[in-house]
Amino acid sequence: MRTISVINQKGGCGKTTVAINLAAALGKLNKKVLLVDLDPQSHASLGLNVSFDEVELTTYNLLRDPRTKIEDVIFRIDDSMDILPSSPILSAIEQELAGKPARETRLGAKLIKARDRYEYVIIDSPPNVGLLTFNALIAAGEVIIPVEPSYFSLQGLHRLRETLELLEKETKHKVKVHVLINNIEKRTTFSRDIVAELERYYSAELMDVTISHSVKYKEAALRGMPIFGMGRSDRLQREFISLARELEEKVSFLQMEDIENWMIRLHGPRIVKEGVLFSLDAPNAENVYLTGEFTNWSREGIRMIRDEKDGLWKITLHLDPGEYEYRFIVNGVWINDPNNMDSVLNEFGQENSLLII
Protein backbone atom coordinates (compact mmCIF):
# COMPACT_ATOMS: atom_id res chain seq x y z
CA MET A 1 0.00 0.00 0.00
CA ARG A 2 1.35 3.40 -0.99
CA THR A 3 -0.02 6.30 0.98
CA ILE A 4 0.25 9.69 -0.68
CA SER A 5 -0.89 12.89 1.03
CA VAL A 6 -1.74 15.91 -1.04
CA ILE A 7 -0.65 18.88 1.03
CA ASN A 8 -0.06 22.60 0.80
CA GLN A 9 -0.93 25.16 3.45
CA LYS A 10 -1.90 27.53 0.65
CA GLY A 11 -5.63 27.45 0.01
CA GLY A 12 -7.04 26.83 -3.44
CA CYS A 13 -3.88 25.52 -5.12
CA GLY A 14 -5.62 22.35 -6.32
CA LYS A 15 -5.13 19.80 -3.51
CA THR A 16 -8.67 18.49 -3.74
CA THR A 17 -8.76 18.58 -7.54
CA VAL A 18 -5.53 16.60 -7.69
CA ALA A 19 -6.61 14.15 -4.97
CA ILE A 20 -9.95 13.31 -6.62
CA ASN A 21 -8.65 13.03 -10.16
CA LEU A 22 -5.46 11.20 -9.29
CA ALA A 23 -7.47 8.67 -7.27
CA ALA A 24 -9.82 8.22 -10.23
CA ALA A 25 -6.89 7.91 -12.68
CA LEU A 26 -5.25 5.22 -10.54
CA GLY A 27 -8.62 3.47 -10.56
CA LYS A 28 -8.57 3.59 -14.37
CA LEU A 29 -5.22 1.78 -14.18
CA ASN A 30 -7.06 -0.94 -12.22
CA LYS A 31 -5.59 -0.03 -8.86
CA LYS A 32 -7.59 -0.37 -5.68
CA VAL A 33 -7.70 3.14 -4.26
CA LEU A 34 -8.88 4.70 -1.02
CA LEU A 35 -9.40 8.46 -1.01
CA VAL A 36 -9.33 10.00 2.46
CA ASP A 37 -11.03 13.35 2.98
CA LEU A 38 -9.21 14.95 5.90
CA ASP A 39 -10.49 18.46 5.31
CA PRO A 40 -13.47 19.81 7.33
CA GLN A 41 -14.53 21.66 4.16
CA SER A 42 -15.39 18.18 2.77
CA HIS A 43 -14.67 19.25 -0.81
CA ALA A 44 -13.30 15.86 -1.83
CA SER A 45 -16.46 14.16 -0.55
CA LEU A 46 -18.75 16.71 -2.18
CA GLY A 47 -16.68 16.55 -5.37
CA LEU A 48 -17.64 12.87 -5.56
CA ASN A 49 -21.23 13.55 -4.67
CA VAL A 50 -20.91 12.17 -1.14
CA SER A 51 -22.67 14.46 1.30
CA PHE A 52 -22.00 14.26 5.04
CA ASP A 53 -25.76 14.43 5.60
CA GLU A 54 -26.10 11.04 3.96
CA VAL A 55 -23.30 9.15 5.68
CA GLU A 56 -23.32 7.97 9.23
CA LEU A 57 -19.63 8.03 10.06
CA THR A 58 -16.81 10.20 8.76
CA THR A 59 -13.09 10.77 9.27
CA TYR A 60 -14.09 12.69 12.39
CA ASN A 61 -15.32 9.48 14.03
CA LEU A 62 -12.30 7.60 12.72
CA LEU A 63 -9.86 9.95 14.44
CA ARG A 64 -11.92 10.41 17.55
CA ASP A 65 -13.22 7.01 18.47
CA PRO A 66 -10.74 4.16 18.98
CA ARG A 67 -13.43 1.62 18.11
CA THR A 68 -14.32 3.10 14.71
CA LYS A 69 -12.55 1.18 11.96
CA ILE A 70 -11.77 2.11 8.37
CA GLU A 71 -14.45 -0.38 7.22
CA ASP A 72 -17.09 1.47 9.23
CA VAL A 73 -16.42 4.74 7.44
CA ILE A 74 -15.84 3.56 3.86
CA PHE A 75 -18.21 4.82 1.20
CA ARG A 76 -17.93 2.95 -2.09
CA ILE A 77 -17.60 5.12 -5.20
CA ASP A 78 -17.05 2.36 -7.78
CA ASP A 79 -15.24 -0.96 -8.22
CA SER A 80 -11.84 0.59 -7.82
CA MET A 81 -12.41 3.53 -5.49
CA ASP A 82 -13.65 3.99 -1.92
CA ILE A 83 -13.72 7.23 0.03
CA LEU A 84 -13.57 8.05 3.72
CA PRO A 85 -15.82 11.11 3.75
CA SER A 86 -15.38 14.08 6.02
CA SER A 87 -17.78 16.52 7.66
CA PRO A 88 -17.49 20.08 9.03
CA ILE A 89 -17.36 18.80 12.61
CA LEU A 90 -13.86 17.52 11.81
CA SER A 91 -12.73 21.07 12.51
CA ALA A 92 -13.40 20.43 16.23
CA ILE A 93 -10.99 17.50 16.40
CA GLU A 94 -7.88 19.53 17.14
CA GLN A 95 -9.38 20.82 20.39
CA GLU A 96 -11.06 17.57 21.31
CA LEU A 97 -7.85 15.59 21.03
CA ALA A 98 -5.67 18.15 22.80
CA GLY A 99 -3.45 16.28 25.26
CA LYS A 100 -4.67 12.84 24.13
CA PRO A 101 -2.08 10.14 23.42
CA ALA A 102 -0.94 9.36 19.89
CA ARG A 103 -3.18 12.01 18.41
CA GLU A 104 -0.88 12.68 15.47
CA THR A 105 -0.58 9.04 14.49
CA ARG A 106 -4.24 8.08 14.62
CA LEU A 107 -4.93 8.07 10.91
CA GLY A 108 -1.74 6.14 10.12
CA ALA A 109 -2.48 3.56 12.78
CA LYS A 110 -5.95 2.94 11.37
CA LEU A 111 -4.79 2.86 7.76
CA ILE A 112 -2.16 0.25 8.40
CA LYS A 113 -4.93 -2.16 9.32
CA ALA A 114 -6.41 -1.74 5.84
CA ARG A 115 -3.09 -2.17 4.04
CA ASP A 116 -4.11 -5.42 2.30
CA ARG A 117 -7.23 -3.90 0.78
CA TYR A 118 -5.73 -0.98 -1.11
CA GLU A 119 -2.81 -0.38 -3.42
CA TYR A 120 -3.04 3.39 -3.05
CA VAL A 121 -4.34 5.68 -0.34
CA ILE A 122 -4.67 9.32 -1.40
CA ILE A 123 -5.22 11.81 1.42
CA ASP A 124 -6.70 15.25 0.80
CA SER A 125 -5.66 17.66 3.54
CA PRO A 126 -6.83 21.10 4.68
CA PRO A 127 -5.08 24.40 3.87
CA ASN A 128 -3.20 24.84 7.14
CA VAL A 129 -0.58 23.05 9.18
CA GLY A 130 -2.34 21.61 12.20
CA LEU A 131 -3.25 18.28 13.69
CA LEU A 132 -5.04 17.08 10.55
CA THR A 133 -2.12 17.84 8.27
CA PHE A 134 0.25 16.17 10.74
CA ASN A 135 -1.94 13.07 10.66
CA ALA A 136 -1.86 13.19 6.86
CA LEU A 137 1.94 13.54 6.84
CA ILE A 138 2.67 10.91 9.42
CA ALA A 139 0.40 8.39 7.69
CA ALA A 140 2.10 8.97 4.34
CA GLY A 141 5.21 7.66 2.68
CA GLU A 142 4.95 10.32 -0.01
CA VAL A 143 3.46 13.75 -0.46
CA ILE A 144 2.30 15.58 -3.54
CA ILE A 145 2.53 19.35 -3.26
CA PRO A 146 0.44 21.03 -5.94
CA VAL A 147 1.73 24.47 -6.84
CA GLU A 148 0.26 27.01 -9.16
CA PRO A 149 2.63 28.92 -11.34
CA SER A 150 2.94 32.13 -9.34
CA TYR A 151 5.80 33.68 -7.37
CA PHE A 152 3.59 33.68 -4.32
CA SER A 153 3.24 29.90 -4.38
CA LEU A 154 6.99 29.53 -4.79
CA GLN A 155 7.47 31.24 -1.44
CA GLY A 156 4.83 28.99 0.10
CA LEU A 157 6.68 25.99 -1.24
CA HIS A 158 9.92 27.02 0.48
CA ARG A 159 8.03 27.38 3.77
CA LEU A 160 6.37 24.01 3.36
CA ARG A 161 9.72 22.35 2.77
CA GLU A 162 10.88 23.78 6.11
CA THR A 163 7.81 22.35 7.86
CA LEU A 164 8.51 18.95 6.31
CA GLU A 165 12.13 19.05 7.44
CA LEU A 166 11.02 19.88 10.96
CA LEU A 167 8.59 16.99 10.98
CA GLU A 168 11.30 14.72 9.66
CA LYS A 169 13.62 15.70 12.49
CA GLU A 170 11.04 15.34 15.22
CA THR A 171 9.50 12.07 14.13
CA LYS A 172 12.43 10.50 12.24
CA HIS A 173 9.90 9.91 9.50
CA LYS A 174 11.01 10.82 6.02
CA VAL A 175 8.45 11.40 3.31
CA LYS A 176 9.26 11.47 -0.37
CA VAL A 177 8.20 14.76 -1.91
CA HIS A 178 6.68 15.22 -5.36
CA VAL A 179 6.07 18.79 -6.52
CA LEU A 180 3.27 18.98 -9.07
CA ILE A 181 2.59 22.04 -11.19
CA ASN A 182 -1.15 22.57 -11.41
CA ASN A 183 -3.35 25.04 -13.21
CA ILE A 184 -0.81 26.03 -15.80
CA GLU A 185 -1.39 27.77 -19.09
CA LYS A 186 1.52 26.24 -20.84
CA ARG A 187 1.86 28.65 -23.66
CA THR A 188 2.54 31.80 -21.65
CA THR A 189 6.09 33.03 -21.10
CA PHE A 190 5.26 33.75 -17.47
CA SER A 191 4.41 30.07 -16.89
CA ARG A 192 7.60 29.00 -18.57
CA ASP A 193 9.62 31.32 -16.32
CA ILE A 194 8.04 29.89 -13.18
CA VAL A 195 8.59 26.33 -14.34
CA ALA A 196 12.24 27.18 -14.97
CA GLU A 197 12.47 28.61 -11.46
CA LEU A 198 10.90 25.50 -9.95
CA GLU A 199 13.30 23.31 -11.88
CA ARG A 200 16.18 25.29 -10.49
CA TYR A 201 15.20 24.67 -6.86
CA TYR A 202 13.27 21.43 -6.98
CA SER A 203 14.55 19.50 -9.96
CA ALA A 204 14.73 16.21 -8.07
CA GLU A 205 11.21 16.52 -6.76
CA LEU A 206 9.44 18.15 -9.67
CA MET A 207 7.09 15.82 -11.52
CA ASP A 208 7.40 15.64 -15.31
CA VAL A 209 3.65 15.78 -15.79
CA THR A 210 1.95 19.15 -15.35
CA ILE A 211 -1.80 19.74 -15.02
CA SER A 212 -3.32 22.31 -17.36
CA HIS A 213 -5.75 25.03 -16.49
CA SER A 214 -9.33 24.17 -17.45
CA VAL A 215 -12.77 25.27 -16.29
CA LYS A 216 -13.80 21.62 -16.63
CA TYR A 217 -12.36 20.92 -13.18
CA LYS A 218 -14.78 23.29 -11.53
CA GLU A 219 -17.66 21.90 -13.58
CA ALA A 220 -16.73 18.33 -12.68
CA ALA A 221 -16.56 19.17 -8.96
CA LEU A 222 -19.98 20.85 -9.13
CA ARG A 223 -21.40 17.76 -10.78
CA GLY A 224 -19.81 15.54 -8.12
CA MET A 225 -17.57 13.55 -10.43
CA PRO A 226 -13.93 13.23 -11.47
CA ILE A 227 -12.85 14.57 -14.85
CA PHE A 228 -13.27 11.03 -16.21
CA GLY A 229 -17.05 11.37 -16.06
CA MET A 230 -17.03 14.54 -18.19
CA GLY A 231 -17.42 14.74 -21.94
CA ARG A 232 -14.83 16.39 -24.17
CA SER A 233 -12.05 16.29 -21.65
CA ASP A 234 -9.76 13.70 -23.24
CA ARG A 235 -6.68 15.85 -22.95
CA LEU A 236 -7.27 16.49 -19.25
CA GLN A 237 -7.95 12.82 -18.63
CA ARG A 238 -4.71 11.93 -20.39
CA GLU A 239 -2.78 14.30 -18.12
CA PHE A 240 -4.08 12.60 -14.98
CA ILE A 241 -3.48 9.12 -16.43
CA SER A 242 0.11 10.22 -17.19
CA LEU A 243 0.42 11.51 -13.62
CA ALA A 244 -0.75 8.14 -12.27
CA ARG A 245 1.71 6.34 -14.55
CA GLU A 246 4.57 8.60 -13.50
CA LEU A 247 3.86 7.77 -9.87
CA GLU A 248 3.73 4.08 -10.74
CA GLU A 249 7.15 4.34 -12.36
CA LYS A 250 8.58 6.18 -9.37
CA VAL A 251 7.86 3.29 -7.05
CA SER A 252 11.30 1.84 -7.59
CA PHE A 253 12.85 4.96 -6.08
CA LEU A 254 11.05 4.44 -2.82
CA GLN A 255 12.39 2.56 0.10
CA MET A 256 9.21 0.61 0.69
CA GLU A 257 10.84 -1.26 3.54
CA ASP A 258 11.51 2.01 5.39
CA ILE A 259 7.88 2.93 5.03
CA GLU A 260 6.72 -0.44 6.34
CA ASN A 261 9.04 -0.10 9.34
CA TRP A 262 7.77 3.35 9.97
CA MET A 263 4.18 2.15 9.90
CA ILE A 264 5.03 -0.56 12.39
CA ARG A 265 6.49 2.04 14.74
CA LEU A 266 3.27 3.98 14.46
CA HIS A 267 1.14 1.22 15.61
CA GLY A 268 0.30 -0.48 18.88
CA PRO A 269 -0.07 -4.27 18.94
CA ARG A 270 -0.44 -5.87 15.55
CA ILE A 271 -1.95 -9.17 14.46
CA VAL A 272 0.74 -11.27 12.82
CA LYS A 273 0.75 -14.89 11.66
CA GLU A 274 2.03 -16.20 14.99
CA GLY A 275 -0.29 -14.17 17.24
CA VAL A 276 -0.32 -10.58 18.49
CA LEU A 277 2.92 -8.64 18.21
CA PHE A 278 3.53 -6.04 20.92
CA SER A 279 6.33 -3.60 20.23
CA LEU A 280 7.87 -0.61 21.96
CA ASP A 281 10.46 1.92 20.89
CA ALA A 282 12.64 2.42 23.98
CA PRO A 283 16.20 2.89 22.73
CA ASN A 284 17.74 3.57 26.15
CA ALA A 285 15.97 0.82 28.08
CA GLU A 286 17.92 -2.00 29.68
CA ASN A 287 14.92 -4.23 30.03
CA VAL A 288 11.28 -4.12 29.00
CA TYR A 289 8.45 -6.34 30.23
CA LEU A 290 4.84 -6.63 29.19
CA THR A 291 2.13 -7.08 31.77
CA GLY A 292 -1.66 -6.97 31.68
CA GLU A 293 -4.87 -8.85 32.09
CA PHE A 294 -3.38 -11.80 30.25
CA THR A 295 -0.78 -12.25 33.03
CA ASN A 296 -3.17 -11.26 35.84
CA TRP A 297 -1.09 -8.07 36.06
CA SER A 298 1.93 -9.99 37.31
CA ARG A 299 4.65 -7.64 38.56
CA GLU A 300 7.30 -9.58 36.65
CA GLY A 301 5.45 -9.51 33.36
CA ILE A 302 6.68 -11.16 30.19
CA ARG A 303 10.16 -10.34 29.06
CA MET A 304 10.35 -8.52 25.72
CA ILE A 305 13.27 -8.99 23.34
CA ARG A 306 15.06 -6.23 21.49
CA ASP A 307 15.00 -6.73 17.72
CA GLU A 308 18.48 -5.88 16.45
CA LYS A 309 17.13 -4.96 13.01
CA ASP A 310 14.89 -2.06 13.99
CA GLY A 311 15.79 -1.57 17.64
CA LEU A 312 12.23 -2.18 18.86
CA TRP A 313 11.41 -4.28 21.91
CA LYS A 314 9.04 -7.05 20.84
CA ILE A 315 7.02 -10.01 22.03
CA THR A 316 4.38 -12.09 20.26
CA LEU A 317 1.54 -13.64 22.29
CA HIS A 318 -1.30 -15.98 21.43
CA LEU A 319 -4.49 -14.24 22.50
CA ASP A 320 -8.12 -15.14 21.86
CA PRO A 321 -10.40 -12.46 20.45
CA GLY A 322 -11.47 -10.08 23.22
CA GLU A 323 -10.40 -6.92 25.05
CA TYR A 324 -7.19 -6.79 27.05
CA GLU A 325 -5.71 -4.02 29.17
CA TYR A 326 -1.92 -3.95 29.34
CA ARG A 327 1.14 -1.83 30.21
CA PHE A 328 4.87 -2.00 29.63
CA ILE A 329 7.45 -2.03 32.42
CA VAL A 330 10.53 -0.16 31.22
CA ASN A 331 13.51 -0.35 33.61
CA GLY A 332 10.98 -0.99 36.39
CA VAL A 333 8.69 1.93 35.46
CA TRP A 334 5.13 1.18 34.36
CA ILE A 335 4.05 3.04 31.23
CA ASN A 336 1.23 2.74 28.75
CA ASP A 337 1.81 2.04 25.07
CA PRO A 338 2.71 5.38 23.44
CA ASN A 339 1.69 4.03 20.04
CA ASN A 340 -1.71 2.82 21.07
CA MET A 341 -4.38 5.46 21.25
CA ASP A 342 -6.87 3.12 22.93
CA SER A 343 -6.69 3.44 26.67
CA VAL A 344 -8.88 3.24 29.78
CA LEU A 345 -8.40 4.68 33.24
CA ASN A 346 -7.44 2.11 35.87
CA GLU A 347 -8.37 2.15 39.55
CA PHE A 348 -5.24 4.17 40.37
CA GLY A 349 -6.28 6.89 37.96
CA GLN A 350 -3.58 5.96 35.46
CA GLU A 351 -4.12 4.94 31.88
CA ASN A 352 -3.95 1.32 30.82
CA SER A 353 -3.51 0.64 27.13
CA LEU A 354 -6.41 -1.27 25.65
CA LEU A 355 -6.08 -3.92 22.99
CA ILE A 356 -9.21 -4.98 21.11
CA ILE A 357 -8.86 -8.13 19.00
Ligand X SMILES: Nc1ncnc2c1ncn2[C@@H]1O[C@H](COP(=O)(O)OP(=O)(O)OP(=O)(O)O)[C@@H](O)[C@H]1O
Give contact residues for Mg ion (rule: CB under 5 A): 15-16, 43
Q: Is 194 in the site for ligand X (CB under 6 A)?
A: no
Single out the segment in contact with ligand X by CB under 6 A; choices: 57-65, 210-218, 260-268, 314-322.
210-218
Tell me: does residue 17 bind ligand X (CB under 6 A): yes
Segment interacting with ligand X (CB under 6 A) among 52-60, 164-172, 212-220, 318-326: 212-220
Does 13 sit near ligand X (CB under 6 A)? yes
* Residues 6 or more apart in contact with residue 65 via CB below 8 angstroms: none
By C-beta, is 43 or 110 nearer to Mg ion? 43
- Residues in contact with 333: Cβ distance below 8 Å, sequence separation at least 6, in sequence order: none
Q: How far is the CB of 15 from ligand X (least distance, A)?
A: 3
Told to check if 240 binds ligand X by CB under 6 A, we report no
Residues 41-70 that bind ligand X (CB under 6 A): 41, 43
Residue 127 in the binding site for ligand X (CB under 6 A) = yes
Binder among 86, 105, 135, 182 for ligand X (CB under 6 A): 182
Contact status, residue 129 vs residue 9, Cβ threshold 8 Å: yes
User: Does position 135 bind ligand X by CB under 6 A?
Assistant: no
Q: Which residue, 22 or 266, has its beta carbon nearer to ligand X? A: 22
Q: If contact means CB under 5 to 8 A according to the sort of partner, which of ligand X, Mg ion, none does residue 213 touch? A: ligand X
Give the interface segment with ligand X, choosing from 13-21, 91-99, 277-285, 288-296 (CB under 6 A): 13-21
Q: Which is nearer to ligand X, 159 or 218 (CB)?
A: 218
Using CB under 6 A, pick the residue from 3, 5, 16, 58 that binds ligand X.
16
Q: How far is the CB of 35 from Mg ion (least distance, A)?
A: 12
User: Nearer Cβ to ligand X, position 19 or 317?
Assistant: 19
Q: Is 183 in the site for ligand X (CB under 6 A)?
A: yes
Binding site for ligand X (CB under 6 A): 11-17, 39, 41, 43, 127, 182-183, 211, 213-214, 217-218, 221
